[in-house]
Amino acid sequence: MAHPQQAPAVDITDVVSSKTAAPRGLRLVLAGMILAIVLICAYWLIWFGIDRNILASSHTSAYYTFENAFPLADGWLALALVFAVVGLLLRRPWGLLATLLAGGAGIYLGCMDVLFDLENHIYTIQPGSDASGPIIEMTINALTFLLGIVIIAWVWRHRSWLLDQTAKL
């Protein structure tokens, strides 16, 4: 007896995924977060393990005390970034939360750093002195704010993709 030919089954996730493919910029956001994790780890490795004078924007005891207060907060930021990267890669709803936490932590740490730097004239380049310290400090501050703002804006704009569990990558 001949079997009637059946139409191929249609998987609904194939249909939905065409509408919910990974959003544009995902790879760039992931790369930025991974780079931030690496830079945070490298910074503290240099600060505590190699020579903090390479990174120090000032050489006062107040500056060293201030910087030495940051490892725990930077550790929280790095951990939040790790969870954000994993959550986005696995497309888990908690990836949204982790990314928002990481972005907020980065902006908060940037605010703390900038206020200290302004109050203590860290950005001031003295005549005849090495400008690398203030330039490093300004770069760190700018990148911290930029990463925080970009990842918050990106993940919020694409939250429906992240929360849509019927679609696949």
Quick: pLDDT tens for 38-65.
999 999 999 999 998 888 888 889 999 9
Residue with more model confidence, 169 or 147: 147
Q: What angle do CA 64, 68, 71 make, to 5 degrees?
A: 150
Cα 148 to Cα 14, 61, 104, 141: the distances in Å are 33, 29, 6, 11
Q: What angle do CA 82, 84, 89 make, to 5 degrees?
A: 100
- pLDDT one-digit tens code per residue, 149-158: 999 999 999 9
Q: CA-to-CA distance for 82 and 84, rounded, in angstroms? A: 5
Query: Residue 59 has what pLDDT?
Result: 86
Tokens matching residue 125 = 């380049």
Q: CA-to-CA distance for 145 and 36, rounded, in angstroms? A: 12
Mean pLDDT of 88-107: 96
**Predicted confidence band at 68 (pLDDT cuts at 50, 70, 90)?**
very high
The answer on pLDDT for 14 being more than 60 is no
Q: CA-to-CA distance for 115 and 136, rounded, in angstroms? A: 16
Tokens matching residue 1 = 């007896």
- Global pTM reads 0.82
- pLDDT one-digit tens code per residue, 25-39: 999 999 999 999 999
133, 127 in Cβ contact below 8 A?
Answer: no
Mean pLDDT of 140-144: 94
The answer on pLDDT for 16 being more than 50 is no
